Structure 1
Amino acid sequence: MSSATDRQIISGFIMALSAALFWGISGTCAQYLFEQKNVNPAWLVSWRMLIAGLILVAFAISRKNSDVWRIWKKPKDAIQILLFGIFGMVAVQFTYFYSISLSNAATATVLQYIGPVFVVGFYAIKNRRWPIAMEYIALFLALTGTFLLVTHGTWDSLVISEAAVFWGILAAIALAFYTIQPVQLLKKYSAPTVTGWGMLIGGISFSLYTSPWESSGIWDTGTWLAFSYIIIFGTVIAFSIFLGSLNYIGAQTASLLCSVEPLSAAITAVVWLNLKFTFMDWLGTFIILATVAILTLAKKVKKSQVPISPVEGPIV
């Protein structure tokens, strides 16, 4: 193996890990905006999709041999990108951010990480085959980790609200749909084109409900910094460097490295926002993250790959 290849692999690892860190911190920034600046989650989702969508579409246009307009020339593909933007992008963005507003960035991110289990279930039904043993183990661990995270090991009470649990699980289901629905589009068009249009369409459609032109929250330096971070680092840059990492280390390794995201969200929330994360919270988190590692290994065993999200690997 040449030194140049070694450098590329190292670069791929750094890029994927950096993307995961950026996404995790982005969730904590969202928690800060919701808790301390009274920003409405739906309002934030609208602007995140609108601004990031415009930037990503512009980036797709600037690329050599751009396919950004070709996606609209086939009615079937045009319908699919509309469905992805309205139902995939909006659902995964809003459920995740709303879950954060009901609990915290760490818990919401970890709960969403059970999404790959739903993806495995979908393909098991679609392909009419039973999951392999490693996938059953992953399912058991996902359920165990979720139980510890939301109950701290007791059967008679929840440590977060029922609404937070509901929206967290809904975010995981939305992530599964968001992962599966654009697969055929991604075989024909570049990820920047699919993701950029998805965000822009989602932002425009969701704006009809949220009225983003009406100001939300308390706007000061801290608000602007957190908002800017979510758009620039937590969306555009994270997306770009994650895609770049795929060229060097592949989707499976990059997806596995993205497990750093909920740890990033937890650590920054504990240090910055004084979130109390107990031993049971950490244990539940690590158990759920173990499902990602097991599912990644299961893909290699089956010599086939479950598609990943076009924006952020396995997680938003």
Structure 2
Amino acid sequence: MATQVSSRIKGLMMVITGAALWGLSGTAAQVLFQEKQITAEWLVVVRMMLAGSALLLFAACKRMAIFSIWTDAKSIVNLLLFGFFGMLGVQYTYFASIATGNAATATLLQYLAPVYIVLYAMVVQKHRPSKEAVFAIVLALLGTFLLITNGSTGELKVPLISVGWGILSGVALAFYTLSSAQMLKQWHSTIVVGWGMVIGGGVMCFVVPPFPLPLVRWDAQTWLLILFVVVFGTLFAFLLFVESIRYLSPTESSLLSSVEPLSAVIASIAFLHVPFGLFQAIGAVCIMVTVLLLSQKKERHPSHSTST
């Protein structure tokens, strides 16, 4: 019994730490964009190529057959779509939302992804929505309105371009989740995500080569922030999340990963002094409650759940 409790505590600490690192990496990226003149495109390339290669190396060290996924024709097509539209789509739109706005809002808007998955099920798969799903969608819309207006329609508190990128980030995350679900039944998540990052980063290399940007002052703080985003905010965060599932259920891990937007909000306010009004805070709570409601719905109907 004591062993089960200690294992559960270990899993909880892993998933909370991983989610917090994800959230903090968004704040670090905001500093790079707005104070160090790093571009979102460049950081996407570096983050995906380095973290993706490291994940594949980790999988190889664990004696996983990292190239076996390329022997299945259907998996190849799914992996290419996942890498380009899912992984690259999520990474670029998220960083673009941060660059034009702030990490707190970008992270919260990205967390609307479960709402888009519910809407997809309603429109495309003709699933009749439950009362809980309808309530969650209304709550998400209310939360988004409060988040970007702070309760006043006269002036947006977040630039419209940042809101647009944030919404696209949520849509891309929904695609990421749905497109990876089938592959994750056959292949380990480290292999799928690792190759997805390498594919997305490789495509982006044709747009922005991963060479040091000439207009950036490459001081120690710049390198430390990049290191944090790539190593702690991507590689370690993902590995902690995956390892936590050994001690917790996937649904519990997903619920606790809502720490990510919370940590992004706190870090943005504490370190970057991002103004966050009362109604924006209420909107943030509405969005996080939406995620919790939809995650609990998946737990009651595990056959319909998908994994990220």
Is 293-302 or 251-260 further displaced after alignment?
A: 293-302
| 1:303 CA drift (Å) | 4.3
The residue aligned with 2:250 is: 251
The counterpart of 2:141, out of the listed 134, 140, 143, is 143
CA contact (8 A) 1:84 1:198 kept: yes
What percentage of residue pairs aligned between the two structures are identical?
Answer: 40
The counterpart of 1:211, out of the listed 209, 212, 218, is 209
The SS at the match of 1:248 is coil
TM-score, length of structure 1 as denominator length: 0.94
| 1:259 CA drift (Å) | 0.9
CA deviation profile, 1:53-106 (whole Å, cap 9, x unmatched):
110111111113x13111011122112111111121110000000000111000
The residue aligned with 2:27 is: 28
The residue aligned with 1:270 is: 269
State the distance in 1 between where 2:212 and 2:94 align: 22
State the distance in 1 between where 2:28 and 2:268 align: 9
State the distance in 1 between where 2:117 and 2:284 align: 19
The residue aligned with 1:70 is: 68
| 1:274 CA drift (Å) | 1.6
CA contact (8 A) 2:139 2:286 kept: yes
**Superposition pairs for residues 164-175 of structure 1, below 5 Å?**
164-175=162-173
**Superposition pairs for residues 165-314 of structure 1, below 5 Å?**
165-215=163-213, 217-309=216-308
The residue aligned with 2:157 is: 159
Please tell me the residue identity of whatever aligns with 2:5: D
**Superposition pairs for residues 48-63 of structure 1, below 5 Å?**
48-63=47-62
RMSD: 1.3
The residue aligned with 1:85 is: 83
Q: 1:223/1:188 Cα in 2 relative to 1: closer, same or farther (>3 Å)?
A: same
State the distance in 2 between where 1:173 and 1:10 align: 33
| 1:281 CA drift (Å) | 1.7
Please tell me the residue identity of whatever aligns with 2:102: N
State the distance in 2 between where 1:175 and 1:280 align: 26
CA deviation profile, 1:25-71 (whole Å, cap 9, x unmatched):
1000000001110100010000000000110111111113x131110
State the distance in 1 between where 2:118 and 2:60 align: 34
CA contact (8 A) 1:120 1:306 kept: no
5+ residue gaps, structure 2: none
**Superposition pairs for residues 31-50 of structure 1, below 5 Å?**
31-50=30-49
| 1:267 CA drift (Å) | 1.0
Please tell me the residue identity of whatever aligns with 2:109: L
| 1:126 CA drift (Å) | 4.5
The SS at the match of 1:67 is coil
| 1:193 CA drift (Å) | 0.5
5+ residue gaps, structure 1: 310-316
CA contact (8 A) 2:8 2:248 kept: yes
Is 238-247 or 214-223 further displaced after alignment?
A: 214-223
The SS at the match of 2:306 is coil
Please tell me the residue identity of whatever aligns with 1:261: E
| 1:157 CA drift (Å) | 2.7
TM-score, length of structure 2 as denominator length: 0.96
Q: How many aligned residue pairs are there?
A: 307
Q: 1:60/1:303 Cα in 2 relative to 1: closer, same or farther (>3 Å)?
A: closer
CA contact (8 A) 2:299 2:305 kept: no
State the distance in 1 between where 2:213 and 2:275 align: 31
The residue aligned with 1:19 is: 18
| 1:224 CA drift (Å) | 0.7
Please tell me the residue identity of whatever aligns with 1:19: G
Please tell me the residue identity of whatever aligns with 1:204: G
CA contact (8 A) 2:15 2:257 kept: yes
The counterpart of 2:98, out of the listed 91, 96, 100, is 100
CA contact (8 A) 2:110 2:166 kept: yes
The residue aligned with 2:114 is: 116
